[in-house]
Amino acid sequence: MLFSKPNAELSCKGVETDEELRLANDLMAKVHMADYFAALNWLETCGAGYPGFRREHTRIALWRGELAGALRMNTETIRLGEARLKTGGLGWVTTEPRHRKKGICRALIIDTLDYMRHHGYHLSLLFGIPNFYHRFGFATALSDYAITVECEELASLSAPIHKVRHAKPGDIPSIQRIHNANDNGVACSLIRNSAHLTNKWAHCGKTIRVLANGQGKVVAYFMARKDGGTLVVEEVGIAENASCESVLAACAHMADDEAAGRIRFLVPPPHPFAHFLLQYKSIHEMRVTHDEGGMLAFVNLSETLESMTPEWERLIADSSLRDARAELTLLAGGKAYRIRANRGAIDVAAVSGRNRVSLTPVELMYLVTGCRHVEDVLSVHRRILAEETRRFLAVLFPRRAPYVWTFDRF
């Protein structure tokens, strides 16, 4: 647990009154964003109506009773295979310029993590600036992915066989069904429901196109915007693989209309459209950063590991250990967590056991999210482990491609 030095002049809490909320939104819009009016509009409409958002999720810091800083907290659910992890998202972290270098941000973050701890959250997520958030236990676990295709590579494509049009609010359920089906294999994505799309529609609806078949049924969608000479497609969804070529043709047609020479698809490797693009000449990128970007921290490690049970039982069932007994003990954050497998059933307990593996919380986050290979993490300190322990670790913590869609970021 993190502690800050006692300071009688500084206090943090959740917003309680309309006036506190007004002042907090004004500060965040004024300091955090270049376009004050657009930012304030977002905070008062989209932000206020975000699914699961409560007034107290705007956290404020007071210096001698005066507003000195603020941030917003979202409630999200992260998908890790069959596991579902309650996650608190941190955004709009702001310090009033006159109160900088007084530990305002630190106090706000510690206060918010403490709030999460007392309200049943497993993880905390943010998209952060360099060299700051790692001191609170955050690990850069999310990478960015992009596939770039030159438009000349698509010159021979036929016109889309489906009707392409701007999305309408009535399309939201179809878009949502397609997204969820495509997203099953994407680790660490945020579970999205129709309320999330409805909430952001006024801000993003114009970027969404849908493809409909002859009966008017939506079979695919994509979100696109122009950025210089590039058409950036921030998300793609397909109801079936047969729709992929039609989506690509629609994107190529839009790029031509926008005088864009290339298309950049922001899709992670497990996505079916990423698989489809392998047949075209393209550049596949993975951008990895350290101490910035998409970062995660454990809020309650014990409950996080217990919540991984459904996914671990699935992984065991698909492995050579399905009928075996195995045990290991993770030592992290000064505590022990025993994980046992007994013919497919997983048991997690906050007690010590056999086959101990010492990890820092950051190293354990790398394993849980799958952003690094088990052997890479173990080799850092040249840990000597029995072969059966290494095999059990490799089953529990496979390499994944953790990713949060641009639409879901905050």
At 154-198, the pLDDT tens digits run 999 998 899 999 999 999 999 999 999 999 899 999 999 999 999
Q: How confident is the model at residue 131 (pLDDT cuts 50, 70, 90)?
A: confident
Residue 307 lies in a domain: yes
Contacts of 14 (CB under 8 A, 6+ apart): 55, 56, 57, 58, 59, 60, 115
* 230 & 122 share domain: no
Expressed as residue numbers, the domain containing 37 is 10-140+291-295
103 and 14, same structural domain?
yes
Residue 290 has pLDDT above 90, yes or no: no
Tens of pLDDT, residue by residue over 346-377, are: 999 999 999 999 999 999 999 999 999 999 99
pLDDT tens sequence across 15-29: 999 999 999 999 999
pLDDT higher than 70, residue 4: no
Q: What percent of the chain has pLDDT over 70?
A: 99
pLDDT for the residue numbered 181 = 96
Last-in-domain residue among 247, 279, 295: 295
The yes-or-no verdict on residue 215 having pLDDT over 80 is yes
161 in the same domain as 134:
no
Q: Are residues 58 and 116 in the same domain?
A: yes
Residue 223 lies in a domain: yes
Q: Percent of the chain scored above 90 by pLDDT? A: 92
88 found inside a domain: yes
Mark whether 23 and 48 lie in a shared domain.
yes
Same domain, 124 and 162: no
Q: Tell me: pLDDT of 1 over 80.
A: no
Please report the pLDDT score of residue 3 as a whole number: 43
Say yes or no: 155 and 278 in one domain: yes
CATH number of domain containing 257? 3.40.630.30
Amino acid at 377: V
Q: Are residue 191 and residue 159 in the same domain, yes or no?
A: yes
Do 114 and 91 share a structural domain?
yes
150 within domain boundaries: yes
Mean of per-residue pLDDT scores for the chain: 96
pLDDT of the residue at 50? 97
Last residue of a domain, one of 295, 322, 348: 295
Is the pLDDT at 147 greater than 90? The verdict is yes
Q: What is the CATH number of the domain that holds 307?
A: 3.30.1050.10
Q: Model's pTM, two decimal places?
A: 0.94
Which pLDDT tens digit goes with each residue over 303-333?
A: 999 999 999 999 999 999 999 999 999 999 9
pLDDT of residue 200: 95
Based on the fold, state whether residues 205 and 276 are members of the same structural domain: yes
Q: What is the pLDDT of residue 5?
A: 54
Q: Are residues 69 and 183 in the same domain?
A: no
Task: Report, as an integer, the average pLDDT of 267-288.
Answer: 97
Are 295 and 133 a contacting pair, CB within 8 Å?
A: yes
Average pLDDT over residues 386-393: 95
With a CB cutoff of 8 Å and minimum separation 6, the contacts of 278 are: none
Q: Is 405 part of any domain?
A: no
70 plus 204 within the same structural domain: no
Give a yes or no: residue 80 inside a domain: yes
In a domain, 120, yes or no: yes
Total domains, the chain: 3
Q: Is the pLDDT of residue 2 over 90?
A: no
407 within some domain: no
Task: Show which of 246, 269, 295 is a domain's final residue.
Answer: 295
